[in-house]
Chains A and B, each alone.
Chain A
């Protein structure tokens, strides 16, 4: 038996299993709540229960006072749900978040492109228009697997709101991506829900944009870039995009053309494993190295958005921070695997 937890501050809705704490459910769903000790002693994760019944669990009488319990406070790290529950948490309001409700969509596969030897471009025609913020993702239901879905970032912009493009890399042995690569055919019907995620451009900051993309992680940055151009953004936009070799670097020509066409768009491609004797005359190395070289290790005054495999994200964050750009200006989309959740992190950083 699971219940729905609504975080009214952000509009997120997540499922909480029986006996699972609110904090655990939120963190696993990618909703960050302030927390520290994780066992009811410190009170960092205190939240307001607006509606519904909860059980306080092991919350210490010193960390959660009686008068606070009477006022509807709870410690997310200990509290479990006894019904569907709505809470308010101390999460900073984001002026750029549009809080678009998640909906279900049916769609038809309109086209499948071979973008690279390992990445397919999936073009879907939806049964009605979708609204999303470029950078967000959807959950695609795997056919024949009721309730099993996979998250994919949207690679298209909103110029045609009834189409979505997804760029999907074949993960060896991966159930979802194998189905997309090996079974899905043009004309098939699929089901998806969305949009999800807090990864989108902070237009209100009015600052130059730096997009860092690795492999099929180009999806979100490409969507963001197309949208920024459509909005006639005048601030500088730099996109650093890397892949192993030239054959994996898809949309290279499109990005080069966009940079050619728009004075404020700079495109920096990078290949990390291109044969030494090839004709490639661009940067050779990883995305973070290309960015360091291009910006001479000084990233101050940007808003940076990173999308790609976890090691690439980690390397980019380190490069940005050593180049004096810090957490408040760095955004990432992390698709946490079960292994990532297990890794011990300190509470030094909240989002990155």
Chain B
């Protein structure tokens, strides 16, 4: 009689994952391991036992493709439906399209930078576990960049300000804020990069980015953007757990790592919040149908969620970054200062701006009872009078930008909203300017790095914003017009005021055609 063969026990999830990931590593025999992984020690982070790394998730390549393929099918079905039904005309109001412009110019390229960064450190860590996790995240980030560009390309067929998003991301002054953030991270070592992006950005600040944009898309009838948000968010959980595991791993491996990690948390919390200035402004001023105010989002997503995180991190001896005190003081000023800046300097942006309506201003004073009516409403009312008189106010000069965060120097001193913040220091005979004590501290910690910052506004004065074919010695050479040409900004179409713009007129005309027979 044949005995039935005992069924072979299936490997458990953990064992299977180990075989499919760590099992792929090997001990080098003819090369020194320090030569192979030459970058994971110079930052001073001490790792004694890479095997102590706990895999934050267990996803292998074979199932990764399966998941992402189904996500893509769903997402592209919706993007196609959105395109075919002229979804761009169903959004709440044409002003919303400026949020989309800011997203594709400011944030989609960051996903691509993130892809590159994780691919890089996925090569540089000597532990197999973190290498595999970083590779997965690298692939996610490329998918995010691609789906965002695809989703937004629907708008690009009809509206201005998006067709040069890569060039603008590199050269337009306001876009150098997010750009320099990521380049700063990517030019750090692998541990700093993953602390900056994997932890500070993906974990600490991620909800402050995601919720405003994705809920904003949902509230304003943008199905395409909303769907890529949900599609990406299902990957974010892996990114967040990777960020947490990295922090724990560093803090537990050696007590000498604690002050280094604290320094990075201080730096990247501040750098991140500075980038979020754009998001704060979008939330309070740019969404026709609003989700919540920046102040409310800060309370929920930073004070509550991150408060809990830093309370837990205290067990390792990590404290809340000191810059948070200033962020709290700026909470009720940030979005107003930023929108004032964008309104005044509207010639150098690739989206349109407008003055808040009476109704908008009533909402703002309700959300910001201690600041809006006192400091910002009078300014908007004065600009309204000037617009109505046919003499709208606009700055004609080029702004000085902070050497670190690259935001124009429009911030006021925390707690003193009528005094402009002007910080500076000297390094090898040159004077450098900063928006705050915190950016200055970041500079002073690594001056050799930040003196190399490419700063768009300053480059105009250095004669760097000139196309190769232009002749700056010509008699009729106009440096301001040349800067716009160099930036590939079509004056009067890509920039300026929303009302009366080509985009606004087209939207109204197309929507009229879509909703009536005449």
Residue from A44, A66, A318 within 8 A of B314 (CB atoms): A318
- The interface residues of chain B lying within 8 Å CB-to-CB of A62 are 71, 74, 230-231, 233-234
Contact A66 B315 (CB under 8 A): no
A 28-62 binary contact with B (CB < 8 Å = 1; else 0) = 00000000110001111000000000000000111
Closest CB in chain A relative to B241 CB, distance in Å: 7
Give 12 A-B contacts (CB < 8 Å), ordered by A residue.
Answer: A44-B241, A62-B230, A63-B233, A63-B237, A93-B12, A321-B316, A324-B255, A344-B307, A346-B309, A347-B240, A348-B244, A348-B313
- The interface residues of chain B lying within 8 Å CB-to-CB of A93 are 12
B317 on the A face (CB < 8 A): yes
Closest CB in chain B relative to A66 CB, distance in Å: 7
Contact A92 B255 (CB under 8 A): no
A 54-93 binary contact with B (CB < 8 Å = 1; else 0) = 0000001111011100000000000000000000001011
Which A313-352 residues have C-beta < 8 A from chain B? 317-318, 321-322, 324, 326-327, 344-349
B388 on the A face (CB < 8 A): no
- The interface residues of chain B lying within 8 Å CB-to-CB of A67 are 66, 70
- The interface residues of chain A lying within 8 Å CB-to-CB of B66 are 67
Q: A67-B66, A327-B248 are in contact. List 9 more A-B contacts (CB 8 A).
A: A41-B234, A42-B233, A43-B237, A44-B241, A60-B230, A60-B234, A61-B230, A93-B12, A348-B248
CA distance A321 to B314 in the complex (A): 10
The 9 A-B pairs of least Cβ separation, nearest first, read A42-B237, A346-B309, A344-B308, A62-B234, A348-B312, A321-B315, A63-B234, A346-B308, A44-B237
CA distance A67 to B74 in the complex (A): 13
- The interface residues of chain B lying within 8 Å CB-to-CB of A345 are 308, 312
B 151-177 binary contact with A (CB < 8 Å = 1; else 0) = 000000000000000000000000000
Closest to A93 in B: B12
Contact B305 A346 (CB under 8 A): yes
B490 on the A face (CB < 8 A): no
Closest to A320 in B: B315
Question: With A36-B237, A44-B237, A326-B252 in contact, do A347 and B316 touch (Cβ < 8 Å)?
Answer: no
Residue from B67, B244, B255 within 8 A of A347 (CB atoms): B244
- The interface residues of chain A lying within 8 Å CB-to-CB of B255 are 324
- The interface residues of chain A lying within 8 Å CB-to-CB of B237 are 36-37, 41-44, 63
CA distance A60 to B214 in the complex (A): 14
Interface size on A, residues (CB 8 A): 29
CA distance A43 to B238 in the complex (A): 9
Listed residue (B71, B231, B237, B255) with the most chain A CB atoms within 10 angstroms of its CB:
B237
B236 on the A face (CB < 8 A): yes
Which B200-242 residues have C-beta < 8 A from chain A? 230-231, 233-234, 236-237, 240-241
Closest to A326 in B: B252
B14 on the A face (CB < 8 A): yes
Contact A90 B13 (CB under 8 A): yes
- The interface residues of chain B lying within 8 Å CB-to-CB of A66 are 70
CA distance A67 to B311 in the complex (A): 39
Question: With A42-B234, A62-B233 in contact, do A322 and B316 touch (Cβ < 8 Å)?
Answer: yes
DSSP majority for the A interface? loop
B304 on the A face (CB < 8 A): yes
Closest to A345 in B: B308
- The interface residues of chain A lying within 8 Å CB-to-CB of B67 are 65
Contact B312 A349 (CB under 8 A): yes
- The interface residues of chain B lying within 8 Å CB-to-CB of A322 are 315-317
CA distance A322 to B252 in the complex (A): 9
CA distance A317 to B70 in the complex (A): 43
Question: With A36-B240, A62-B74 in contact, do A43 and B234 touch (Cβ < 8 Å)?
Answer: yes
CA distance A62 to B240 in the complex (A): 17
Closest to A352 in B: B315
B 283-320 binary contact with A (CB < 8 Å = 1; else 0) = 00000000000000000000011111101111111000
CA distance A60 to B255 in the complex (A): 41
- The interface residues of chain B lying within 8 Å CB-to-CB of A321 are 315-316
- The interface residues of chain B lying within 8 Å CB-to-CB of A44 are 237, 241
Contact B74 A61 (CB under 8 A): yes
CA distance A300 to B240 in the complex (A): 28
Closest CB in chain A relative to B255 CB, distance in Å: 7
Closest to A66 in B: B70
- The interface residues of chain A lying within 8 Å CB-to-CB of B230 are 41, 60-62
Closest CB in chain B relative to A147 CB, distance in Å: 34
CA distance A263 to B248 in the complex (A): 36
- The interface residues of chain B lying within 8 Å CB-to-CB of A347 are 240-241, 244
CA distance A26 to B234 in the complex (A): 23
CA distance A345 to B313 in the complex (A): 11
Listed residue (A42, A327, A344) with the most chain B CB atoms within 10 angstroms of its CB:
A42
Closest to B52 in A: A328
Closest CB in chain A relative to B334 CB, distance in Å: 24
CA distance A345 to B307 in the complex (A): 9
Residue from A37, A42, A65, A346 within 8 A of B312 (CB atoms): A346
CA distance A317 to B312 in the complex (A): 10
CA distance A301 to B255 in the complex (A): 16
Closest CB in chain B relative to A293 CB, distance in Å: 19
Closest CB in chain B relative to A296 CB, distance in Å: 14
- The interface residues of chain A lying within 8 Å CB-to-CB of B309 are 346, 348
CA distance A301 to B396 in the complex (A): 67
- The interface residues of chain B lying within 8 Å CB-to-CB of A346 are 305-306, 308-309, 311-312
Closest to B14 in A: A92
CA distance A186 to B236 in the complex (A): 59
Closest CB in chain B relative to A55 CB, distance in Å: 20
CA distance A65 to B306 in the complex (A): 30
Closest to B258 in A: A322
Residue from A65, A327, A344 within 8 A of B70 (CB atoms): A65
Closest CB in chain A relative to B261 CB, distance in Å: 13
CA distance A42 to B233 in the complex (A): 6
Closest to B248 in A: A348
Closest to B255 in A: A324
Closest to A349 in B: B312
Closest to B13 in A: A90
Which A288-322 residues have C-beta < 8 A from chain B? 317-318, 321-322
Which B4-29 residues have C-beta < 8 A from chain A? 12-14
Closest CB in chain B relative to A32 CB, distance in Å: 15
Closest CB in chain A relative to B473 CB, distance in Å: 57
CA distance A59 to B308 in the complex (A): 25
Question: With A41-B230, A60-B230, A345-B308 in contact, do A318 and B315 touch (Cβ < 8 Å)?
Answer: yes
Closest to A314 in B: B315
CA distance A321 to B315 in the complex (A): 6
Contact B305 A41 (CB under 8 A): no
Closest CB in chain A relative to B270 CB, distance in Å: 20
CA distance A66 to B77 in the complex (A): 15
Closest CB in chain B relative to A50 CB, distance in Å: 15
